[in-house]
Amino acid sequence: MRMVFGVWFCFPEDKDQEQFTKQLVYYLASFAGGIPVFVLRDYAKDTLSLRWRSWMTSYYMDRYLKNRTFYKIQSQSIIDNPDQRIVDDLSSFTGTALAFSLTLFNATVDLISFSNILYGIYPPLFLVLLAYSLGGTAISVFLGRGLVTLNFLQEKKEADFRYGLVRVRENAESIAFYDGEENEMQLLLQRFRSAFDNLSKLLISSRNLDFFTNGYRYLIQILPAAVVAPMYFSGKIEFGVINQSVSAFNHILGDFSLIVYQFQAISAFSAVIDRLGEFDDLLTSSETRSVSESMEEICREFCTINDPSMSNGSGALTRASKLLMIEQLTLLTPSKATLIRDLSLEVCEKDHLLITGPSGSGKTSLLRAIAGLWSFGRGTIRFYDKNTRDALPSLSADVASPETTSVYDPKHEYRKLNKRNSRGVFFLPQKPYMVLGTLRQQLLYPTWSNDPAPMSDSDIPADSLSFLMRTKDMDSRPTKPTTEDLVQVLEDVRLGYILSRFDLDSTYEWSSVLSVGEQQRLAFARLLLSRPNLVLLDESTSALDEANEAHLYKLIEAAGITYVSIGHRRTLFEHHRSVLYISPVEPTSALLNWRFEPINNESAYNLSKQ
Ligand SMILES: Nc1ncnc2c1ncn2[C@@H]1O[C@H](COP(=O)(O)OP(=O)(O)OP(=O)(O)O)[C@@H](O)[C@H]1O
C-alpha cells in the first residue's frame, strides 16, 4: 500500500496549489478504494491457506493411518516426530508458500512498474542495480548455506523436547511412583539444551548473514542520488525526478533482492519442505509396499466360505468351522534370530487355544504376525469367514466380514480376497488402550464412532469442508448398540458400578481414572459388543482376579466367540481346549520349538509346571 501511495503523493516543487489539491483528492480516493482491497486480499490469502492446510492435513493423516504406517514408523523408529510434521510443518508450509507466492507476484508487478521509470531516467543505474543484486544474492546464498540444515535440526529438536513433555504427562503415575522427577528433569533439560544449542548456532549464522544483509541494504542507498544529482545541477532533469529515481531505485532494489532480504525465511521454508518431503516419501513407499502385499514373506489370506458348503457332508462341515490356519510359519526378530520355527496349526470354532511359554519366547510376536503387524519371517496365515451373518445371537452386532464378497469356488473351496483385515477377528492387546473421549466412545471403539445417525448431504453445513466431515463406512458397520446395550454390557463384565461415578457421556482420562483391571474388563465389554468370530487375547486378564477372569471367559464362550489367548496363569488352562507351548529356540538345534496338545487335567498340570 505504501508502495502505491508513496509515489503519488509528493509535493509539486512549482508551488501549484491546484495541482496539490488534485493530488490530495486522488490520494484520498485511492486510500478509500485501496483499504478494502488490501484487507480482503489478506483475508482471502489466510482463508485459502487455512483451507489448503485442512485438505493437506486430512490427506496426510489418511496416508499416515492407512496400512498401519503409523505403527511401522513408531515400532521401527523410521523418522522422527510425524505428529510435528502433520501439525507444524503443514501449517507453515501452506502459510509460507502462499505468502511467498504473493510476495513474488507483488515483486514482479512492482519491478515492471518501476523499471520503466528508472530505465527512463538513467539506464546505467538500472544495470548497476541488477549487477549489485545478483552479486548480493550469490553472497547471501554462500553465507547462509548452513541455515537450512540448522533450521531442519531446530524443528526436530523442538519436537523432541515437546514429545518428552507429552510422555511425562502420559506416564505421570509411573513417574510419580518411581519418584523419577529428577531423572525426568535431566532428560527434559538435555532435550531442551540440545534445542537451545542448535538455536544458538542458528542465531550466530543469522547474525553473520544480517551483517551482510544490512550492509548490502544501506551501502547502495546513496547511489541514485549521487548519480542523478549532477544531472539536476546541470539542468537536465527537474528536482522531483531525484525523488522519483530514489524511490524507483529502492523499489527495484527490493524486488531484485528478494532472496537476500528473505533468506532466513526461505531457509526455514526449505527445512519444512525437506521434512515434509521425507515424510511424503515414507508414506508413498508404505503405500507401494501394501499394493504388492504378495511380496511379504508372511502371507496373510482371507477366505470366505459359503453357507451351502456346510451342508455338504461332515467333511465340508469340518472345513466350514475352521477359523484360522497357520502353515509352516517361521518368525524371526528384525536381527534375524529365529523365534518360532515351522509352526503349523489350525483353530476351529469353539476350539479355544492357549499359547504359553517362557517370557521372550515369541508369543506376542506370533499374535502380531497373525494381526499383520510382524513381517519378519515366512509362512502362511489364513483366516476363514463362514459368512454366517445370522448364526450368532444378536445382542447388537453383525460381525460377518462386510468387506468380503461371499464366493464359493467348488475347486478350491475358497478364494483369496486380498484384504488386510477381517471384521471377524478381534485383537485385545496386552496394554488396554483407552481412547480420548467419553465412556460411550470407549465402549464403541473401534467398531463404531460416536457420530450421530448417518448424515445426508443436506445435513452438512454449507461452509464445512467435505474432507473434514469423514464418517465410517456406513454399509460396513453393524447396527450400533443402544444406550441400554451399553449399560447391559457394563453390567455383564461387572463394571456396572462405575455408572454411579461416571456418566456414559462424561469425558475423563480413562487410563488414569480406571484401574488396569477395570480397563481390561472394559476391553472385554468392547469385545462382547462387537461379537467377532475369533478373538486373540494377549494376557488380557493379567490384572484380574481369578473369579473375574473365569467370569469373562465364560461370557465370551457363551457369546459364541472362539478365542486364542496368551497367558502364563495355571487357571487359564480350564478355559481352553488345547495348548500351544512355545519354548526358546536352541540356536544349535533344528528341532521345532513348539508343542501342540489337547488340554486334559494332567497335561494342564504338567505344562503349567514347566
Ligand atoms: N520390535 C522389535 N525389535 C526387535 N526385537 C523385538 C521386537 N519386538 C520383540 N522383540 C524381541 O522378540 C522376542 C520375543 O518377544 P515377544 O514380545 O514376542 O515375547 P513374549 O513371549 O510375548 O514375552 P512376554 O511373555 O514377556 O510378553 C523378545 O526377545 C523381544 O526382545
Ligand 1 pocket, CB under 6 A: 75, 333-334, 339, 359-365
Of residues 289 and 395, more confidence is placed in 289
Nearest of 497, 499, 503, 505 to residue 437 by alpha carbon? 505
Residue 498 burial by CB count (10 A; 0-12/13-18/19+): exposed, middle or buried?
middle
Residues 177-190 pLDDT 10s: 889 999 999 999 99
Distance from residue 376's CA to the centre of ligand 1 (Å): 12
Angle between helices 123-143 and 222-233 (to 10 degrees): 170
Residue 416's pLDDT is what?
Answer: 40
Q: Give the H or E element holding residue 382.
A: strand 377-385
pLDDT tens digit string along 61-83?
999 998 889 998 888 888 899 99
Cβ neighbours for 23, distance < 8 A, ≥ 6 positions apart: 8, 9, 10, 12
Distance 373 CA to ligand 1 centre (A): 13
Q: For residue 593, what pLDDT is reported?
A: 85
Q: Which atom of ligand 1 is nearest to the CA of 430?
A: 27
pLDDT of residue 467: 67
- Which of 261, 259, 260, 274 has its CA nearest to residue 148? 274
pLDDT in tens, 275-291: 999 999 999 988 776 55
Ligand 1 pocket mutation, candidates 73, 75, 332, 333, criterion most atoms within 8 A of CB: 333
pLDDT higher than 60, residue 221? yes
Continuous H helices in 66-146: 69-75, 82-84, 90-121, 123-143
CATH class, range 298-313+321-329+348-387+394-451+473-596: alpha beta
For residue 590, how many C-alpha atoms fall within 13 Å in the half-sphere facing its CB?
A: 0
> Closest ligand 1 atom, CA of 362?
18
Please give the pLDDT value at position 458.
Answer: 56
- What's the 364 CA to ligand 1 centre distance in angstroms? 7
Domain boundaries defined on the chain: 12-290, 298-313+321-329+348-387+394-451+473-596
CA of 365 to the centre of ligand 1 (A): 6
* Span 319-365, pLDDT tens digits: 548 889 999 999 998 888 889 999 999 999 889 999 999 998 999 99
What ipTM was estimated for this complex?
0.95
Specify the fold of 12-290: ABC transporter transmembrane region fold (1.20.1560)
Q: Could you tell me the distance, in angstroms and rounded to a whole number, from the CA of residue 167 to the centre of ligand 1?
A: 22
Q: Hey, which of 331, 363, 580 would you mutate to test ligand 1's pocket, going by the most ligand atoms within 8 Å of its Cβ?
A: 363
Question: Rounded to whole angstroms, what are the CA distances from 525 to 39, 201, 515?
Answer: 55, 54, 15
Average pLDDT value for the chain: 82
Looking at residue 269, what DSSP letter applies?
H
Side-chain half-sphere exposure of 275, counting CA atoms within 13 A: 30
Q: What's the length of the chain?
A: 610
Kindly indicate the confidence band of residue 439, based on its pLDDT and cuts at 50, 70 and 90: very high
CA of 471 to the centre of ligand 1 (A): 36
